[in-house]
A and B are shown apart, each in its own frame.
Chain A
């Protein structure tokens, strides 16, 4: 087990220099204890303290970076088994695999389609994280050409080949871009370790039978200086992979077992020919503990649901996504369309917006800044009262866009309707349903 925050603090310089990004050494020590930062963030730690702390400060699952620059992908460094225990930190990288046997034109078109794909959801920009180039031709030139197309598009790359000569050609083409090299195994590990260290690239490790052989390999590679590892436990089916990744995550988190404390890579397309099944298995991998997911098919119709799932699972349960306060249009409302008001807790917003949309009646939805709290919580905390609602009505463009003076408030806060009438002279305050599900019938009947 790791040291406590206080035990770590005793070994730090105690100068509160703030260069690590935290206000005090104690705060930094607490983060170290929680395995959320690296000891190397402290520029002044003594060698002696470092030796003592290294063992306890290293995260149970190593943080591995694939690619360079803005689009680099960081995976690993997870600290819990269940997202409700704290949160999951580094969402899995979603890569698409392309063969180097594709004609140059087709490859360029595919790369630009994947690199150009982007979609926004809840204010976050999402897209593919990179491309895995599979050396199918066995020719170093073809491989290097394909890898170059990927890095030129600015995307992180995974280099997949059996022949170290082919891989080296790819590494040269991606020099300085830290591509993930796939993969070292029991036969080739020394050559692979040499390549990975020479080109400063992370290295994937493929075990033979069972986790023991994988652990043997990672230890040998670590001893050779290849420390940024990603492990492939050889996942070939749904149940088996779920059981394997669960054991791996428990080994890292519960047992602090370093030999297998690395991000996991998986290829759902290797398990099935069925594209829908590939997408659904990728969904399992997102929920359960995989760090790098390499898909064999790219289709927005399956990729967008996967991006959405990844966003859901990796949302920090301690600070739910908030919606920006403002006046939202649901289904092209007109000036005389109904006006409803709610809070900016994302789930509240989505429930209300979803029901309004489902009603088929276009409407205006005024979202107040309730600091991300739901209706009842915000009301109890004084963040969703008559004053705040009136302020939102007066400052968020309602008066410009809405031609009437009727506003629907959530049924749970019916008690504030009197005060709201005082705050908004001339307005009619209508009490809506308590739950969002009641909105469609409310709108149909009462508006």
Chain B
């Protein structure tokens, strides 16, 4: 008995936009290579019906000062480099990062309140210490973000770094800086398809080309809202693939920040024995959050633990085989 199986291939009308980070000497930058994400013509890793021209990539997060609130598991993994942003950047590159995500944490009003000058110096140090393309985050406070990210954009002129986060109440200054200095922006919205689309439209209305926008749908860690992020990303992917041009930006997710905020990863005191060995659990908490979000459409995962990064890179490689 020969059984014919009905065909179930999807053909989509849209695809994810390609966005390139970094610029080499040929493009008037100083990076050793560029990193392009996006370009998928279907849902993640479905090679039987679509192409994944650019596999997702891993960014490792570093900070311009020793992070006050990082778990001992993370601090132990990185060792002394957390006191020296240049050494940290070099170490992250050595650990296999595709991108460096620099957090200008010392600019936070309560954690140093440093300004534009310090930001420029930090960005310069990191550009000199690593040849990878850069993502630069402000401290997450509108005024300070504008101050230090504009400085970062100026200092890294031509390097095609991504600066973030642009949010609905604070995006104009950052978008203008990105336009002036040839950078990209990260548009962050709170787990909502329409808000994500709206912010992409607002940013595009300022004439920043869509090829220079990444979107961050807001990450919920495993056990802390992961399912909301997972589903919003699937919905954004489907909207993009069915041709909605303003949802076609590659997605970046801040898995490290969120996973290491959870009690499961952060601490080992006062937790049930049933949670198991702390170190293994913590690294898996981050890697598993990343795995789930890769399956739902992430193009860039920002991680904190080097071991989680190597596991996630391995996962990406295995999912890309056959593509």
Contacts and interface: CB of A to CB of B under 8 A. Distances in A.
Nearest to A120: B272
A261 to B, nearest CB: 12
Given A239-B45, A251-B5, A304-B281, A309 B288 contact: yes
Interface in B256-281: 261-264, 266, 272-278, 280-281
A259 B314 CA distance: 35
Nearest to A303: B276
Interface stretch (B81-89, B122-130, B143-151, B315-323): B315-323
A146 B318 CA distance: 35
Given A301-B276, A301-B284, A251 B321 contact: no
Residue of A251, A276, A317 ringed by the most chain B CB atoms within 10 A: A276
B33 interface: no
A278 B256 CA distance: 21
Contacts of A280: 284, 287-288, 291, 311, 315
A121 interface: yes
The majority secondary structure among interface residues of chain A is helix
Residue of A212, A287, A315, A358 ringed by the most chain B CB atoms within 10 A: A287
B245 interface: no
Contact of B46 (A242, A254, A311, A444): A242
B234 interface: yes
A373 to B, nearest CB: 14
A284 B319 CA distance: 10
A259 B3 contact: yes
Nearest to B8: A250
B45 A119 contact: no
Contacts of B323: 239
Contacts of A243: 45-48, 322
Contacts of B295: 242, 284, 287-288
Interface residues of A, number: 61
B231 A317 contact: yes
Nearest to B293: A287
B220 interface: yes
B69 to A, nearest CB: 6
B227 A305 contact: no
Interface of A: 82-84, 117-119, 121, 211-212, 215-216, 219-220, 237-240, 242-243, 246-247, 250-251, 254-255, 257, 259-260, 276-277, 279-280, 283-284, 287-288, 299-306, 308-309, 311-313, 315, 317, 347, 350-351, 354, 357-358, 437, 441, 444-445
28 contacts: A82-B235, A84-B234, A117-B274, A119-B275, A212-B5, A219-B1, A238-B319, A243-B48, A251-B6, A287-B292, A287-B296, A299-B276, A301-B276, A301-B278, A301-B280, A302-B284, A304-B276, A305-B222, A305-B281, A305-B284, A308-B264, A312-B227, A312-B230, A313-B230, A313-B292, A350-B224, A354-B261, A441-B110
